[in-house]
Amino acid sequence: MTMKLDGQRISKNLFQYVAMFSGGLAIICSGMHYGWPSASLPKLEGIATNEEGSWMAVMPLVGAMCGSLCGGLVVDLIGRKKTILLSTFPYFIGWILVAYAKSVVVILVARFLAGIGDGFSFSALPIYLGEISDPRIRGSIGSSISVAWIFGILLANVLGSYLSVTLAALISSVLPAVCLITFIWMPESPYYLLMKENDDEARKSMEIFHGKGNIENELERMAKEVKEHNASNGRWVDLFLVPSNRRALIVMLGTRGFQQLTGTTAITFYAYTIFDNASSLVSPSVASIIYFTVQVIFCVICSMIVDRTGRRPLMIISIIGSGIALFIEGTYFFLKDETNINVDDFSLVPVIALVLFVVMFSVGMQGVPILLLSELFPTDVKGFAVCFADIYFSALAATVSKCFQITKDHFGLCVPFFAFTGCCIVGLVFIIYNVPETTGKTLEEIQEGFRSEEVEDFRERYKENEEL
């Protein structure tokens, strides 16, 4: 009976999954650009200095800050779908420039363009998937963004490890073209169409994404919510001035912030270097591929269970396990580099610890913060919120990655790993006390939850005044 129901649900929501896979190609493109430095930078030794290499690694994050500003504006002007399609062009041009680059400057420009693509795709796709998906499977569909991103990183490491920089880049340029060709056939988000008062197209979109059953009640509920928020003419400042938006913003800043303060992006950029310093028993290329393969597997597992277990439990388990693994990693490098203790017999410990980190991190902290981004904000400020979130993410990830490079070069690898451990402890406290559970709720119910907190706060303040 359960299998029959699951089969019916998959059939009913088939186009949601098709859109997920097609749109996910843009995120795979992003992941490939982020995964490029790990395997390819070592091949540029003698051509680029360590400082130039570090700028190559973080340049997509710099570009993403600019791309996010544009993405946040156009996602409500031209739509979620067209914004995702636009992202494929800078991805493609970036790979062509990398393939035929004759200087460091050209590679930096290429990486910057890839960041522009990130700004578009990460501004639009989380919103798009959150708005087209059934609440019962929204967690799985939203979590696919992290799966696609990590798969892109893995693919870049495989290509970069065994092919030349030129050939790997040319093969990588195929992905954005495939995304453009396939995603162009997907319908626009019904929420966006309702925002533009295109009710007939919104109905057609709903029929495609949710089957041709009775969609009128759901469409009416969507239209009412969109109408209420459109009437308020959302502005940037409403993210900070409206209490419910401010609560959502705090949750977003905390979850995305502590996601990066675990050091995940820095470890992604420098995985090859970390493994090269860690163990002589496993080649850095093989260790990096194993690392990202494990990450893909557990991101998939997270996407399969997130709608059953809930968002909060996965994040709590994930950040605790990540902190333990990072502490083990830092302890190993402290004993190896700062003491006279011989750790040759334990050379596999840092490899195992990093694999443990990626397992625990992927269980919740990798995917859930991005998933929450698609759920927390109302339609009138969602574009602004995602734009702000992407700029915030890019700035923080770039800062953490540069600090990682500086501290490892000047103080040893143990220092950044101990710092990441401390951030996990603070992040755990934040999640326990601030992150709401959104599993199984419609986007409208989530907003109602934030607004009901405002009413409760008002009642508490009123009661305190009465007592005074």
CA distances for 163 relative to 25, 284, 314, angstroms: 22, 15, 37
Is the confidence at residue 227, as pLDDT, over 60? yes
Is the confidence at residue 4, as pLDDT, over 60? no
Region 127-140: what's the mean pLDDT?
Answer: 84
Spatial CA neighbour of 153 closest among 289, 301, 274, 41: 289
Residue 152 confidence (pLDDT): 93
Residue 20 confidence (pLDDT): 92
Amino acid at 171: I
Q: Hey, which residues does 45 pair with through a beta bridge?
A: 48
**pLDDT for 6-42, tens place per residue?**
444 556 678 899 999 999 999 999 999 888 877 777 7
**pLDDT for 93-105, tens place per residue?**
999 999 998 888 8
Residue 455 confidence (pLDDT): 42
Each domain of the chain, given as residue ranges in start order, spans 12-186, 238-467
**pLDDT for 192-202, tens place per residue?**
898 888 888 88
Q: Rounded to an integer, what distance in angstroms lies between the CA atom of residue 23 and that of residue 28?
A: 9
Determine which of 75-79, 225-229, 390-394 has the lowest per-residue pLDDT on average: 225-229
Residue 46 confidence (pLDDT): 64
Residue 2 confidence (pLDDT): 38
Q: Rounded to an integer, what distance in angstroms lies between the CA atom of residue 273 and that of residue 266?
A: 11
Is the confidence at residue 154, as pLDDT, over 80? yes
Is the confidence at residue 319, as pLDDT, over 70? yes
Return the sign of the alpha-carbon dihedral for residues 141, 145, 151, 152: positive
Amino acid at 238: D
Residue 442 confidence (pLDDT): 77
Q: At what angle do helices 379-411 and 104-132 cross, to 10 degrees?
A: 140
pTM of the shown model: 0.78
Q: Which two tokens stand for residue 105?
A: 């400057």
Specify which of 25-29, 224-228, 307-311, 406-410 reaches the highest per-range mean pLDDT.
25-29
Topology given in CATH for the domain delimited by 12-186:
Growth Hormone; Chain: A; (1.20.1250)
At residue 405 the predicted structure's pLDDT band, cuts being 50, 70 and 90, is confident
Region 347-372: what's the mean pLDDT?
Answer: 85
Can you say how many angstroms the Cα of residue 208 is from the centroid of all Cα atoms in its chain? Answer: 27
Q: Hey, which residues does 48 pair with through a beta bridge?
A: 45
Region 427-450: what's the mean pLDDT?
Answer: 84
Q: Give buried/exposed letters for 217-254 (b at 16+ CB in 10 A, else e).
A: eebeebbebbeebbeeebeeebbeebebbebbbebbbb
Domains 12-186 and 238-467 share a fold: yes
Residue 151 confidence (pLDDT): 93
- Domain 238-467's class? mainly alpha
Residue 117 confidence (pLDDT): 93
Residue 427 confidence (pLDDT): 95
**pLDDT for 324-356, tens place per residue?**
999 998 998 888 878 888 877 777 788 788 888
Q: Which two tokens stand for residue 102?
A: 């004759």
Residue 337 confidence (pLDDT): 79
Region 133-162: what's the mean pLDDT?
Answer: 86
Please classify residue 17 by burial: count the beta carbons closer than 10 Å to its beta carbon, then call 0-12 exposed, 13-18 middle and 19+ buried.
middle
At residue 231 the predicted structure's pLDDT band, cuts being 50, 70 and 90, is low
At residue 453 the predicted structure's pLDDT band, cuts being 50, 70 and 90, is low
DSSP line for 36-48: HHHHHGGGGBTTB
At residue 217 the predicted structure's pLDDT band, cuts being 50, 70 and 90, is confident
Region 155-167: what's the mean pLDDT?
Answer: 88
Residue 65 confidence (pLDDT): 83
Q: What percent of the chain has pLDDT over 90?
A: 26
Q: What percent of the chain has pLDDT over 70?
A: 88
Determine which of 212-226, 375-389, 450-464 has the lowest per-residue pLDDT on average: 450-464
**pLDDT for 242-262, tens place per residue?**
888 888 899 999 999 999 898
CA distances for 107 relative to 96, 117, 315, angstroms: 10, 15, 36
Mean pLDDT (the chain) is 82
At residue 214 the predicted structure's pLDDT band, cuts being 50, 70 and 90, is low
Please classify residue 315 by burial: count the beta carbons closer than 10 Å to its beta carbon, then call 0-12 exposed, 13-18 middle and 19+ buried.
buried
At residue 281 the predicted structure's pLDDT band, cuts being 50, 70 and 90, is low
